[in-house]
Amino acid sequence: MKTRFDRIIKASTSLTFRFRRDERGVLALMLALSAVPFFLAAGVALDAFRAGSARAEVQASLDAAALAAAAASPSATEDQRRKLAEDAFAVNIAGKMGDKIDGSPVIEFNNGEVTVSYDGSLPTTIMKIGGFDNLKISGSSTATMRAPQKAEIALVLDYSLSMNETSAGQTKYVTMKNAAIDMVNGLTKDGSNSDVRFALVPFSHNVYATLPSSQVLDASGTTWTGCTFDRQYPFNTGVTPPTGTAGSKWGQPAPASYGSYAAQQNYHCDGHFHDGNGFAAHHLKLREMSSDHSAMISQINAMSPYGYTHISLGLEFGWHMVDPGQPYAARDFDDPKNKKFIVLLTDGKQTTPAFGPGSSRNLSMGEDNLETLCENIRGTNITLITIAFALADADTENRLNGCATNPAKHFFKAEDSNDLTKAFEEIQNQIASAIYLSR
| Percent above pLDDT 70 for the chain | 86
Report the C-alpha gap between 430 and 423 in whole angstroms.
11
Report the C-alpha gap between 151 and 167 in whole angstroms.
31
Higher-confidence residue of 369 and 111: namely 369
Digit-coded pLDDT (tens) for 176-206: 999 999 999 988 877 677 889 999 999 999 9
Report the C-alpha gap between 407 and 401 in whole angstroms.
6
Of 54, 50, 71, 68, the residue nearest 118 (C-alpha): 54
- Give, as one character, the DSSP assignment of residue 230: P
pLDDT category of residue 144 using cuts at 50, 70 and 90 = confident
The CA-based angle 321-325-327, given to 5 degrees, is 65
Report the C-alpha gap between 384 and 389 in whole angstroms.
16
Digit-coded pLDDT (tens) for 295-337: 999 999 999 999 999 999 999 999 999 999 999 989 999 988 8
Q: How far apart are the first and last CA of the chain?
A: 96
Q: What are the backbone angles phi and psi of residue 250, rounded to the nearest 5°? A: -85, 180
Give the Å distances, CA to CA, from 174 to 21, 128, 186. 77, 53, 18
pLDDT category of residue 270 using cuts at 50, 70 and 90 = confident
pLDDT value of position 104: 85
Alpha helices in 232-310 (DSSP H): 293-302
Digit-coded pLDDT (tens) for 13-70: 444 444 444 555 555 555 444 545 544 556 577 777 888 888 888 998 998 888 888 8
- Give, as one character, the DSSP assignment of residue 260: G
Q: Tell me the pLDDT of the chain averaged across its residues.
A: 87
pLDDT value of position 130: 67
The CA-based angle 355-221-309, given to 5 degrees, is 30
Higher-confidence residue of 377 and 64: namely 377
Of 311, 309, 329, 333, the residue nearest 320 (C-alpha): 329
